[in-house]
Amino acid sequence: MYVCICNSVTDSDIRDAVLDGVCNMRQLKHSTGCGSKCGCCKEMAAEVLQQSLAEARQSKLQLPVMQMA
Among 39, 55, 57, 59, binds ligand FES (CB under 6 A): 39
Closest by Cα among 28, 25, 18 to 56: 18
What whole-number distance in Å separates Cα of residue 38 and Cα of residue 60? 34
The CB-of-53 to ligand FES minimum distance in angstroms stands at: 19
Binding status of residue 40 toward ligand FES by CB under 6 A? yes
Stretch that binds ligand FES, among 18-26, 31-39, 53-61 (CB under 6 A): 31-39
Using an 8 Å Cβ cutoff, are 28 and 35 in contact? Answer: yes
Closer CB to ligand FES, residue 17 or residue 34? 34
